Structure 1
Amino acid sequence: MAEREPRSGSSPEDAAAEITTQQTFMVPKKEISMVSDMDKWKRSQANADYMSFILTLNEGVKGKKITGEYKVSETVEKLLDLLGTLDRWINETPPVDQPSRFGNKAFRTWYNKLDQEAEALVSTVLPADGCAAVPEIAVYLKESVGNATRIDYGTGHEAAFAAFLCCLCKVGALKVDDQMAIVFKVFNKYLTVMRKLQRTYRMEPAGSQGVWGLDDFQFLPFIWGSSQFVGHPTVEPQHFVDEKVVNENHQDYMFLDCIKFINEMKTGPFAEHSNQLWNITAVPSWSKVNQGLIRMYKAECLEKFPVIQHFKFGSLLSIQPTKP
């Protein structure tokens, strides 16, 4: 395990800005094998650091547009190049003819390429003195694109990408002033690539989300996207189902871009195919939407065994309990 002691009571800023020193890295592995193990997750440093990271970014994009001005660092550019490589591999790996409509087996070919190249890709993002962290951090990248056996994708895979970004912050590759670019550039590009994967290989939603699911695949862009709208002078929660509002503003607001994608992928009345999102239109303010989505994310994703059983723990995101 890591040489450092787990931190406690860290602020979101600490979690996003921490640079580990004298770190002993390890390849992350699963630690949650039964429902009773969930208490270990809830008490873990990984849980505290992960949620702090999510909330840091939530604050960082509050009231901001994707198309606004913000710093784009060299590391962010390298991450965009990495995601561009994954995008190019989709073009080079067309779907195969098969009897079943969903779960195109060409995804496994695409995934095998990532499995082989992940460490090389991550090494291009880290500084030269960070090479020891590559095997640990690369695991989260591989976990973030879907499951090659089931050919599915869900919020657990999305969480792995957030964990990947969190680890890059912890080793100092990403800095506090990268926060807006992490969401608006890197995570947005990740979303674009994941949507392309979902469409190209007809990936199944991971697990049965039931009536609480926001959409079939993502959750975080709704949290950060609702934060973007806090304090907006004209667009209220009731307006996001308005096609004109979506078409005119989706390039500025992550929430609306998600709605646009749902509208492209699904037919029929919005209230029927996306009932939970439809319910949000009745919430009086974006700040209440944002707070509600954070609570929902904790309860319906981070506290659900089917999601967290797949999470992997290493030295950067540790299963060790936080100090009291």
Structure 2
Amino acid sequence: MMSDRLGYDVTDPTVQVLRSSAFMQNGPVKQVRSLEDLDRWVRSQAYHDTIAYINHTSRAIQGHRMSRNRESRNFDFPVSEQMRRLCEIFDGLDHLLIEHTPKPEDSDPVSYKTWMQQMFQHVFSKLDEAIRSNCKHINELGQYLRRSFGNVTTMDFGPANELMFVFFLCGLFRAGILLAGDTIAAALMLYNRYIHLVRRLVATYSLPLVKDPMSSIDDYCLLPYLWGAAQLSLDSPFSPMQCEQQQVQRQQQDYMMLELVEHLQRSRSGQLSQVAFQLWSLLSVPTWPQVYRGLERNYIDTVLCSFQTLEQAIFCELMSFEPAMPPGNQLERAYLGAQYLERHNQEEEENAEEQANLWEPSPPVSRYVSMEPESFLGFQEPSAFQPKTKSKSKANEKEDSEEDQRFWMLRQVVDEKDPNNAMFFPDRAVNQNDSVTSFATEGP
């Protein structure tokens, strides 16, 4: 029997169909449980997609500033309506942080758990509102996003949480929710909102920080260093060694690296050479592409190849632990600065008919194409596949309500042993008697 809608023979399921069934049964799961699993990780599709996303973004954000133009009040990169809706998720998270700031009589752990419980609820409902399309990957994207703000069991924050946000960003492009034109805004707007919120979370709740002892950068979020150096690799108004100069620091609203330097000096109360010696030493090299290369090696070694980090990561369909196809596919590299200009000019000469725009970002990662039923990892909004009618019978309304609730339940596949996997109900307020609270207080 052949399904015209799905395009495969359900009596003889293909590999893709079997994999989709596994995803429906298991949802996002941890895959790195031993050091041997790191070999599988570096050959996986998720590893290749993560490298490709970071490096394509690094190339795209060169020469762009984070702040608006003072005259036009516009950014110098495109900002889609979809991107604005995603950024609004952080407006609600900021409000929750203000609402649950610890009082003198409260303990930081209790306040942090309360914020995390509210955040779990907020993420899924706001993702629905932000995406507004027939997307069956909301469960997976929501799982990545809500693991980006720390660990509710160990009550700490580390590079593994930042990696989950990278998975979230990469998954948005893989699912086709964000497009090539959103590449710059995803880094300089959406990721920037994430970093600012994380800094406030760590300071507000006094979260312990998990760091890889082998990292030459003493910080819990390392990607801002990488993208900060990439941003300055074209048309930089200052050299790496000028970062601490007062007249340069006035541009911190424009450049991610200057924000980092200012944050380190302010939070650790000292000069950069005293509070972040490794970074200060790295900024002594002549050019920003050289700084980027040093930071890139450190990021791959101490984040993307760290067992301590990867054992906390979860994988599913968009960010798959399956081997990359084709096997042996070469990893992407970020060509920056003069090297980028040279390659761009060479491509223009070789293909004069297709004049590439220097400032137009290319897609940061390949689009994921699925053959799977829409309800496996999410749901279809009724408006997406059937017209609305002005009147409905009570029986039809009840049937639609039950069907919607079933789809909502499919979104969240619960692992009862994982306290981060609290059951999600879209229209229910969190209170102390809910299962969300009980899950959040259980051990791993």
Please state which band the TM-score falls in when normalised by the shorter chain.
Answer: 0.7 to 0.9
Pair 287,112 (structure 1): closer, same or farther in 2 beyond 3 Å = same
Distance 1:75 1:231 in 2: 28
Distance 2:103 2:232 in 1: 41
Distance 1:310 1:46 in 2: 15
Q: What is the TM-score with the length of structure 1 in the denominator? A: 0.87
Report whether the alignment pairs 1:259 with 2:261. Answer: yes
| Partner of residue 72, structure 1 | 79
User: Equivalent residues in 2 for 1:107-122 (5 A)?
Assistant: 107-122=112-127
Pair 173,4 (structure 1): closer, same or farther in 2 beyond 3 Å = farther
Identity level (%): 27
Give, in angstroms, the shift of residue 281 of structure 1: 2.1
Q: What is the TM-score with the length of structure 2 in the denominator? A: 0.64
Q: Deviations over 1:225-279 (max 9, x none)?
A: 1111113354111111334422x11011011111111111002342232111111
Q: 1:174 aligns with which of 168, 171, 178?
A: 178
Report whether the alignment pairs 1:227 with 2:255. Answer: no
Distance 2:280 2:124 in 1: 41
Give, in angstroms, the shift of residue 60 of structure 1: 0.8
Give, in angstroms, the shift of residue 4 of structure 1: 8.1
Please provide the CA RMSD for this pair: 2.4
Give, in angstroms, the shift of residue 81 of structure 1: 0.7
Q: Deviations over 1:7-30 (max 9, x none)?
A: xxxxxxxxxxxxxxxxx7662110
SS at match of 1:66: coil
SS at match of 2:114: helix
Give, in angstroms, the shift of residue 301 of structure 1: 0.8
Pair 242,4 (structure 1): closer, same or farther in 2 beyond 3 Å = farther
| Partner of residue 215, structure 2 | 212
Distance 1:135 1:258 in 2: 32
Q: Which amino acid is the alignment partner of residue 3 of structure 1? A: Q
Q: Deviations over 1:92-120 (max 9, x none)?
A: 102144798xx543111100111233221
| Partner of residue 124, structure 1 | 129
Q: Which amino acid is the alignment partner of residue 237 of structure 1? A: P
User: Equivalent residues in 2 for 1:167-316 (5 A)?
Assistant: 167-207=171-211, 209-210=212-213, 212-246=215-249, 248-316=250-318
Pair 206,98 (structure 1): closer, same or farther in 2 beyond 3 Å = farther
SS at match of 2:16: coil
Give the number of the structure whose residues are more often helix, by fraction: 1
Length, aligned pairs only: 304
Q: Which amino acid is the alignment partner of residue 47 of structure 2? A: N
Distance 1:78 1:175 in 2: 14
Q: Which amino acid is the alignment partner of residue 232 of structure 2? A: F
Pair 160,166 (structure 1): closer, same or farther in 2 beyond 3 Å = same
Give, in angstroms, the shift of residue 154 of structure 1: 1.7
Pair 171,233 (structure 1): closer, same or farther in 2 beyond 3 Å = closer
1:212–1:276 contact (8 Å) kept in structure 2: no
| Higher relative contact order (CA closer than 8 Å, sequence separation 6+) | 1
Q: Which amino acid is the alignment partner of residue 61 of structure 1? A: I
| Partner of residue 27, structure 1 | 27
Distance 1:158 1:260 in 2: 20
Give, in angstroms, the shift of residue 127 of structure 1: 3.1
Give, in angstroms, the shift of residue 214 of structure 1: 2.2
Q: Which amino acid is the alignment partner of residue 173 of structure 1? A: I
Distance 2:99 2:171 in 1: 29
| Partner of residue 3, structure 1 | 16
Pair 233,224 (structure 1): closer, same or farther in 2 beyond 3 Å = closer
| Partner of residue 322, structure 1 | 324
| Partner of residue 13, structure 1 | none
Gaps of 5+ in 2: 1-13, 68-74, 328-444
Distance 1:213 1:118 in 2: 33
SS at match of 1:43: coil
Give, in angstroms, the shift of residue 212 of structure 1: 2.8
Pair 282,211 (structure 1): closer, same or farther in 2 beyond 3 Å = farther
Give, in angstroms, the shift of residue 82 of structure 1: 0.3
Distance 2:274 2:150 in 1: 26
Q: Which amino acid is the alignment partner of residue 106 of structure 1? A: S
Distance 1:295 1:4 in 2: 38
2:64–2:76 contact (8 Å) kept in structure 1: no
Pair 117,233 (structure 1): closer, same or farther in 2 beyond 3 Å = closer
| Partner of residue 88, structure 1 | 95
Distance 2:105 2:216 in 1: 29
Distance 2:208 2:282 in 1: 25
Q: Which amino acid is the alignment partner of residue 41 of structure 2? A: W
Of stretches 215-224 and 73-82 in structure 1, the one that deviates more from structure 2 is 215-224
Distance 1:2 1:154 in 2: 36
Q: Which amino acid is the alignment partner of residue 81 of structure 2? A: E
Distance 2:238 2:18 in 1: 46
Q: Which amino acid is the alignment partner of residue 118 of structure 1? A: V
Give, in angstroms, the shift of residue 133 of structure 1: 1.2
SS at match of 1:144: helix
Distance 1:211 1:315 in 2: 31
Report whether the alignment pairs 1:134 with 2:138. Answer: yes
User: Equivalent residues in 2 for 1:27-66 (5 A)?
Assistant: 27-66=27-66
